[in-house]
A and B are shown apart, each in its own frame.
Chain A
Amino acid sequence: MRLRLLIAAIVLLTGISLIACEREERGFRVQTPDTNRVNNKQLVDLQAGQPSKTPDTPNDYENNAQALADGKQLFQQMNCTGCHAHGGGSIGPALMDDKWIYGNRPEQIFSTIVEGRPNGMPSFRGKLPDYKVWQLAAYVRSLSGQAPSHAAPGRDDDLQVGKPENSQDKKKPQNSTASKSAEAPQ
C-alpha cells in the first residue's frame, strides 16, 4: 500500500515537474528596452520617398510575469482604468480589441503614454521612470493577448470583469498606423 502511494507520488511529482518545464523562464534581470530607440519609430505606414528601415524595439517585460503583474498594478494606480476600464475602454478607447489608433508596437505604446495623444490621451511625461512605462506597455499588450499566456496575469484580485489576460484570444492587430515594422537590420 505504501509502495503504491510512493509510486503514485513519484508519478504525480514527475508530472508536475514536466508541466513546470512549460512555465515561464524568468530572467532575474530583464533588459529594459533602449528608450532612445523609441524616437526612431515612425507612427504611420506611409512614408515619403524610400521607406527607411527602423528596427523594432522588443520589450522583454512581456515575457516576465512579475513585470506584467507590476504593469497591471500600475494600470490601476496611474488611473489608466478610469479611462480604459479593464481593457474595454470608457472615456478612452478599448485596449483589448484589435484596433490600435496610435500603433501596437511596444515603442509606439511607450510613446503614447509618455507623449500623450491629441484627442484626449494625457501625457505622463515625468510621472514614471522609463522602466515602469515599459512595464505598463507590456501589460497593455497583454490585454489583447499579445503577451505569452505563461507570463500574463491569470486572475484578478478584484471584481471579476471578464477573461483574465492569459486567456485572452490573441487579437491580430489591425492598425491605422505603422504595424508591420521593417525588418530589423542585423
Chain B
Amino acid sequence: MPASEDGQWTMPAKNVQNTRFSGLNQINTSNVGQLKVAWTFSTGVDRGQEAAPIVVGDTMYVVSPYPNILYALDLKNNGAQKWKYDPHPQQASPGVACCDTVNRGAVFDNGKVFINTLDGNTCAVDAATGKELWKTKLGDINQGETITMAPLVVKGKVIVGNAGGEFGVRGWIAALDEDTGKVAWKAYSAGPDTDALIGPDFHPFYAMDQGKDLGVTSWPPDQWKLGGGTVWGWVSYDPDTDLLYYGTGNPGVWNPELRPGDNKWGSTIFARKPDTGAAVWAYQLNPHDLYDHDEVNENLVIDLPINGETRKVIIHPGRNGFMYVMDRTTGQVLSATSYVYETAAKGVDLQSGRLIPNKDKEPKTNQVVREICPASPGAKDWQPTAYSPQTGLVYIPHQNLCMDYEGVDANYIAGTPYVGANTKFYAGPGGNRGFFTAWDPIHNAPAWQIKENFPVWSGTVVTAGDVAFYGTMDGWFKAVNAKSGELLWQFKTGSGIIGQPVTYKGPDGKQYVAILSGIGGWPGALVSGDLDPDDDTAAGGWGAGLRDLKDATTKGGTLYVFSLP
C-alpha cells in the first residue's frame, strides 16, 4: 500500500487531481469474487443518486438528491446514523433542474463538510455535530440557476459553480472562504473580461482564444447575458502549477443558429489561480457548440511520458468524442483522439486548436439533421473516469449514442427552459448504448472495452488491487480486472446505478467498497420522473433512446457497502 494512501475518501474524486485511484489492495483480482453486502442505508429519496459517499475517519457522509439531506453514518456501527442536516432547499427548485434533482456529493476539509443545494446554496456543516456553520446563497431559481456539482476545497477555498445551461443562465465559478462562506472571487464564463477575471495573467495557447472581451464580441449583441457556460461538473487542482482546471457547459440556447459566433466561453477549459480566480489560460473545445456538448467533464491531473519526456498533462475525455491530452501549464493540445463513433466532427486541428465540424451535420432551424454522433449527452457526460498509475490506463464509463436534431425558435422567459431544439437519441453502431473503456493515454487507443446495453451513467474507481468498479442503469454493480476487463464479480442492487463508487479502509482495518443505487439523472429521469417514452423527446431525447428502461429498473435510493467475508 502506498504511503500516501490513508484509506479515507474525503472528496468525491478521491484527490484534487481527480484520479479516483485508491491505494488499497486488500480487495484484489483474486478475492473480489467473494464480496458480500456489509450493510445498507436508505437516503429516503427515490430520485437519481449521483453522489459519492465520502469517508473521514470512522464516519461516512452521504448527501441525498433534492432535498439534499446530509447524513453522517457511524462506520463503527454498521452505518448507524450519527446526525443529519437538512438545508431546506426551496420546494420549487426541481422545476428548474434540467436533468433530475441530483447532487454529486459532499466534500470534507478541516473539520467541516460542505454541500451544495439544488436551490443554489453552499452550506458548511460541523463534521462532528452536524451543526450548520454557514450557508451562502449563490444562485437564484427564478433565473433558472441550480447547483448540482460537488464542491472542491483548495487552499481554504470552497470552489463552486452553477447549473442551468438549459435556462439561459450566465455560468460562473466562485470561491468561498471555508471559514466564513464569504465569496472571495467569482468568475463568469460569458461577458466582458472583467467579469471573467481575464487580465494580465491570461495567456491562451491558441490565437482563436486570444483577444479582448471575446466573451462579448463572439456573440450577437447581448446574447452573452443568456450565454450559459455553466460550471456543473468537475474541478481539479494541481499543487505543482497551483492552478484549478475545469470545463464550462454549453453556450446559451441550444439551437446554434440563434447565436452566430464562437460563443466564448462556452464549452471551454479554464486554468485559474485559486487565490484570485485570475484566468491563466483557456481553450475552447467546441467553438460555437452545435450539439449541447458541455465540456464540464473531469480533467485528470497526471504526468505522462510522451515522446521520451515527462509531460505535465491533463486528460479530458471530451463530451464531443475526443480524448484530449493537454499540457496543463500552457493549454496546448498534445493529442485529441476520437474514442467513440464520430460523425459530428472530423477531428481537431492541432495547429489552430480548432475542432473541425462536419458541415453536413450542422443543425438547422426547422430542419431535421440525422445521424449526428455523438448525441447531445456526448461520448461521455458527467460520469467521472479514473486513472490507475499501476496500469497506466484511464477507465471511462460512457455511452454510444447518435441523434436526430431539429433546431426550433426559442423564447427567453426567465425561469423557464431556453433550448430551441428537438432531439431524439438512439444507439450508435453495434446497438449497445454504453461502454466501459480502458484507454491507453500514451498510445491513444483503447486497451480493452466492455459493451453495455444501457449507457454507463455511473462513475468508476480503480484500486491498487487492480480492480475497477462501475454500475449499470439496470442495477448491476460490477468489478472488473483493471488489466484485462474480465468481469470478476457482480451484484444486483435494488435500482439502477448512476452513482460514484468509492473504497475505504474501515475502523476495523478492512477494505470496503460503497455505491449508491437509485436510478435517475438525465437518462434515468424516465424512471425517477415516471416519464412516458411514447414521446421520443421525453427527457430531452432519451424517450427514443431508452424506451426499455422502465421495464429494466424501478426507483430507489439505497447505499450499499461491500466487504470480504
Q: Chain A interface (Cβ within 8 Å of chain B)?
A: 76-79, 81-83, 85-94, 96-97, 99, 116, 118-122, 127, 157-163
Q: Does B78 reach chain A (CB closer than 8 Å)?
A: no
Q: Are B416 and A86 in contact (CB under 8 A)?
A: no
Select A88's contact among B166, B411, B418, B532, beta carbons within 8 Å: B532
Q: Are A78 and B416 in contact (CB under 8 A)?
A: yes
Q: Which residue of A lies closest to B534 (CB)?
A: A162
Q: Does B386 reach chain A (CB closer than 8 Å)?
A: no
Q: How far is the CB of B66 from chain A (nearest CB, A)?
A: 10
Q: How far is the CB of A75 from chain B (nearest CB, A)?
A: 12
Select A89's contact among B366, B416, B419, B529, beta carbons within 8 Å: B529
Select B418's contact among A79, A91, A122, A158, beta carbons within 8 Å: A79
Distance A87 CA – B532 CA, assembled complex (angstroms): 8
Q: How far is the CB of A115 from chain B (nearest CB, A)?
A: 12
Q: How far is the CB of B359 from chain A (nearest CB, A)?
A: 21
Q: Are B537 and A91 in contact (CB under 8 A)?
A: no
Select B535's contact among A76, A78, A85, A157, beta carbons within 8 Å: A85
Select B92's contact among A82, A94, A119, beta carbons within 8 Å: A119
Name B403-451 residues within 8 Å CB distance of A: 404, 406, 408-411, 413, 415-419, 422-424
Q: Does B538 reach chain A (CB closer than 8 Å)?
A: yes
In the complex, which residues of chain A have a beta carbon less than 8 angstroms from the beta carbon of B540? 85, 90
Interface pick from B94-102, B173-181, B337-345: B94-102
Distance A65 CA – B166 CA, assembled complex (angstroms): 32
Q: Are B366 and A158 in contact (CB under 8 A)?
A: yes
Starting from the known contacts A93-B529, A120-B93, 5 additional A-B residue pairs (CB-CB under 8 Å) come to A83-B95, A89-B532, A91-B529, A93-B530, A96-B535
Q: Are A161 and B532 in contact (CB under 8 A)?
A: no
In the complex, which residues of chain B have a beta carbon less than 8 angstroms from the beta carbon of A116? 92
Q: Are B413 and A87 in contact (CB under 8 A)?
A: no
Q: Which residue of A lies closest to B538 (CB)?
A: A88
Interface centre among A83, A89, A160 (most CB of B within 10 A): A89
Q: Are B543 and A88 in contact (CB under 8 A)?
A: yes
Q: Are B411 and A158 in contact (CB under 8 A)?
A: no
Q: How far is the CB of A174 from chain B (nearest CB, A)?
A: 12
Interface of B is mostly: loop
Q: A91-B97, A118-B91, A120-B92 are in contact. Are A85 and B534 (CB under 8 A)?
A: no
Q: Are B424 and A159 in contact (CB under 8 A)?
A: yes
Q: Does B244 reach chain A (CB closer than 8 Å)?
A: no
Q: How far is the CB of B369 from chain A (nearest CB, A)?
A: 10
Select A83's contact among B417, B534, B535, beta carbons within 8 Å: B417
| Pairs across A and B, CB under 8 Å, 27 listed | A76-B409, A77-B411, A79-B410, A79-B416, A81-B537, A82-B418, A82-B419, A85-B539, A85-B540, A86-B422, A86-B537, A87-B532, A88-B535, A88-B538, A89-B530, A94-B530, A94-B538, A99-B530, A120-B93, A158-B366, A159-B404, A159-B424, A161-B422, A161-B535, A162-B536, A162-B543, A163-B534
Q: Chain B interface (Cβ within 8 Å of chain A)?
A: 91-98, 166, 366, 368, 404, 406, 408-411, 413, 415-419, 422-424, 525, 529-540, 543
Q: Are B95 and A122 in contact (CB under 8 A)?
A: yes
In the complex, which residues of chain A have a beta carbon less than 8 angstroms from the beta carbon of B368? 159
Distance A120 CA – B47 CA, assembled complex (angstroms): 15
Q: A119-B91, A120-B92 are in contact. Are A159 and B529 (CB under 8 A)?
A: no
Q: How far is the CB of B232 from chain A (nearest CB, A)?
A: 15
In the complex, which residues of chain A have a beta carbon less than 8 angstroms from the beta carbon of B96? 91, 120
Q: How far is the CB of A74 from chain B (nearest CB, A)?
A: 11
Q: A119-B94, A121-B95 are in contact. Are A79 and B417 (CB under 8 A)?
A: yes
Q: Are A91 and B417 in contact (CB under 8 A)?
A: yes
In the complex, which residues of chain B have a beta carbon less than 8 angstroms from the beta carbon of A119? 91-92, 94-95
Distance A159 CA – B525 CA, assembled complex (angstroms): 22
In the complex, which residues of chain A have a beta carbon less than 8 angstroms from the beta carbon of B529? 89-91, 93
Q: How far is the CB of B166 from chain A (nearest CB, A)?
A: 7
Distance A159 CA – B413 CA, assembled complex (angstroms): 23
In the complex, which residues of chain A have a beta carbon less than 8 angstroms from the beta carbon of B404? 159
Q: A78-B413, A83-B416, A119-B94 are in contact. Are A162 and B408 (CB under 8 A)?
A: no
Q: Are B95 and A96 in contact (CB under 8 A)?
A: no
Q: Are B531 and A158 in contact (CB under 8 A)?
A: no
Distance A82 CA – B419 CA, assembled complex (angstroms): 7
Q: How far is the CB of B528 from chain A (nearest CB, A)?
A: 11
Distance A82 CA – B424 CA, assembled complex (angstroms): 14
Q: How far is the CB of B545 from chain A (nearest CB, A)?
A: 12
In the complex, which residues of chain B have a beta carbon less than 8 angstroms from the beta carbon of A127? 413
In the complex, which residues of chain A have a beta carbon less than 8 angstroms from the beta carbon of B538? 85-86, 88-90, 94
